[in-house]
Amino acid sequence: MTAAYQTGKYRNVFLECGYSKEEIQERVEKTFETIFYGTEEERFYHEVGEDMAYVEDTGNHDVRTEGMSYAMMVCVQMNRKEEFDRLWKWVRTYMYIPKGPGKNYFAWSCGTDGTWNSDGPAPDGEEFFAMSLFFAWRRWGDGEGIFEYSKEARAILKECVHKGEPGQPGDSMWDAKNHLIKFIPNCDFSDPSYHLPHFYELFAKWANPEDREFWKEAAKASRDYLHKACHPKTGLSAEYADYDGTPHKGHQEIFGRHDWYYSDAYRTIANIGLDYEWFGVDSWQVENANHLQKFYCEDQKLHWDGVFLTDGTRLEEKALHPVAIIATNAQASLAANGPYAKECVEKFWNTPLRTGDRRYYDNFLYMFSMLALSGNYRIY
């Protein structure tokens, strides 16, 4: 296929499924407005003072680099510069780590008042911060200070790659030898849903010149890794996986169980779909998306709220984020060409935003799927 990066054209999968341009755009805008400006029971974006804002993880009642970086990406895609700048100023004011082994990273969890719950980072936040800042630079141009977006993005990526080298205390976020992103800097395993080769392709063009070859290698390494991390029959990946793709069963006394297809892992297929839409260089992504949609629509059609091992074994637990499953299974249709691509999109279209305490994670993935399937999740 000729991908969006070459053509500048993005599929509107909803339009292909028969929905009108008007109702699609209305749905995208309504989703954004609900998340950012809906009722107290709907939104999780909160403005602070005249020039800052945060998003709350409503299930854990904290502010996470995950959510802040996701919100920034949503804002740059929706052309909402004021909200973007408010979020970024909150991040730089409260989450930035000024010294110690995590210097120049961001504390992954804070209270809503900005106090740290942790003094360490989570790499998925940093990679989304960098990508959203690059897009802001290309869409709106650089400002001054912390709003010199491209400078801030390059500084983040420099730390991610070079921390841990001589004279650079701490640990890098990518393994220097295999170019794979780590779950956290001081560990030797990964999280398949952190792998964003479509971001790394762009980092290879816009990061510091001396790091561009690293990001080219990281894009290739991540695509190869996902082949190993996703089961060949079900398309499912584990939440955490070793560098050979095997579900990670260790560290359960610290992090709990993560060797199954559960919350984090839902993002993996969404990322695969978006990578195929943007760059289209890996035909395996089509095959994997077809496998996953078949698994849900045929093999487990009555159990979309189930929890599974990557081989498809269904466990007794129920999914904590069932709306996220529906959203990401639909986003897989950016790559899928099998008989269930349209069914998954229609199921998503007919699913409302989640309400209640756990709405934050589900509704962010819902928003991303809305953007992606309407042709509005774009490279700038």
Tens-digit pLDDT profile for residues 174-189: 999 999 999 999 999 9
pLDDT score recorded for residue 167: 87
Average pLDDT, the chain: 98
Q: At CB < 8 A and 24+ separation, what contacts does 94-101 make?
A: 94/63, 95/63, 95/65, 95/68, 97/121, 100/169, 100/170, 101/169, 101/170, 101/171
352 DSSP assignment: P
Q: Residue 2: is its pLDDT beyond 90? A: no
Query: For the chain, what are the domain ranges?
Result: 1-43+224-380, 45-173
Q: Are 139 and 380 in contact (CB under 8 A)?
A: yes
Q: Residue 1: is its pLDDT beyond 80? A: no
Q: In angstroms, rounded to a whole number, what is the distance separating the alpha carbons of residues 55 and 125?
A: 13
User: What pTM value is reported for the model?
Assistant: 0.98
66 is known as an active-site residue: yes
Q: How confident is the model at residue 112 (pLDDT cuts 50, 70, 90)?
A: very high
Q: For residues 62-75, give the mean pLDDT.
A: 99
Which tokens belong to 39? Answer: 């009722």
The CATH architecture annotation of domain 45-173 reads Alpha/alpha barrel (1.50)
For 218-238, how does the pLDDT look when each residue is reduced to its tens digit (9 = 90+)?
999 999 999 999 999 999 999
Q: How confident is the model at residue 84 (pLDDT cuts 50, 70, 90)?
A: very high
Residue in 264, 277, 343, 362 annotated catalytic = 264
Q: Which residues pair with 306 in a beta bridge?
A: 318
Q: How confident is the model at residue 271 (pLDDT cuts 50, 70, 90)?
A: very high
For 298-324, how does the pLDDT look when each residue is reduced to its tens digit (9 = 90+)?
999 999 999 999 999 999 999 999 999
- Which class is domain 1-43+224-380? mainly alpha
Q: Which residues pair with 116 in a beta bridge?
A: 110
pLDDT score recorded for residue 137: 99
pLDDT score recorded for residue 314: 98
Q: In angstroms, rounded to a whole number, what is the distance separating the alpha carbons of residues 368 and 288?
A: 20
3-state secondary structure at position 62: strand
Q: For residues 118-145, give the mean pLDDT.
A: 98
For 140-179, how does the pLDDT look when each residue is reduced to its tens digit (9 = 90+)?
999 999 999 999 999 999 999 999 999 889 999 999 999 9
Q: Where are the beta strands (DSSP E) in 99-233?
A: 109-110
Residue in 57, 66, 124, 287 annotated catalytic = 66
For 350-362, how does the pLDDT look when each residue is reduced to its tens digit (9 = 90+)?
999 999 999 999 9
Q: How confident is the model at residue 328 (pLDDT cuts 50, 70, 90)?
A: very high
23 is known as an active-site residue: no
pLDDT score recorded for residue 177: 96
